[in-house]
Structure 1
Amino acid sequence: MTALSQLTWITSSYSGGSGTECVECARVESGALIRDSKWADGPIVRVRAEPWSAFVRSLRQGDPSA
């Protein structure tokens, strides 16, 4: 796996504008990694490719349960 420092982390467009609610994700071969941008060295959630794709697809379709 790629070293965390070499990943491209993207801040969610759904994050709050106050800077207190930022979520970042990085795509990896197996799916995606998610972290709190205020705590970059904190815990990271790993999501496999299939559920991540389904989640992103539901967001694009405006599914409020996503």
Structure 2
Amino acid sequence: MSSGTTELAWFKSSYSGSQGDSCVEVAIAEQAVHVRDSKDLSRRPFAVDREHWVPFAKFVAEGTEA
């Protein structure tokens, strides 16, 4: 998998706030789902394997602390 993420098709997550204060963008690739903060593109995006995306999203949605 390429480490570059600029060629990915990013879209705003449906879970991002409507007030523009929480802008999470995702890009779905063949092997992973990439996540980034659209308000701070200097921070590197991270990727979650597609097979682990649903458990990851569920974990985040539940607000469970590690």
Structure 1 residue matching 2:14: 3-state secondary structure: coil
Aligned ranges 1:41-60 → 2 under 5 Å:
41-52=42-53, 54-55=54-55
- C-alpha RMSD of the superposition: 2.5
Aligned ranges 1:2-17 → 2 under 5 Å:
3-17=4-18
Greater helix proportion: 1
Q: Matched residues in 2 for 1:14 and 1:48: separation?
A: 20
Q: Per-residue CA shift, 1:17-53, capped at 9, x if unaligned?
A: 111101001112211110001012312111011011x
TM score, norm. by length of structure 1: 0.69
- For 1:30, the aligned partner's letter is Q
- For 2:26, the aligned partner's letter is C
Task: Give the paired residue count.
Answer: 60
Q: Matched residues in 2 for 1:12 and 1:57: separation?
A: 11
Q: 4+ runs of 1 displaced by more than 3 Å?
A: 55-58
Q: Matched residues in 2 for 1:36 and 1:57: separation?
A: 16
**Percent of aligned positions with the same letter in both sequences?**
33
TM score, norm. by length of structure 2: 0.69
The runs of 5 or more residues in structure 1 that have no matched partner are 59-63
The runs of 5 or more residues in structure 2 that have no matched partner are none
- For 2:9, the aligned partner's letter is T
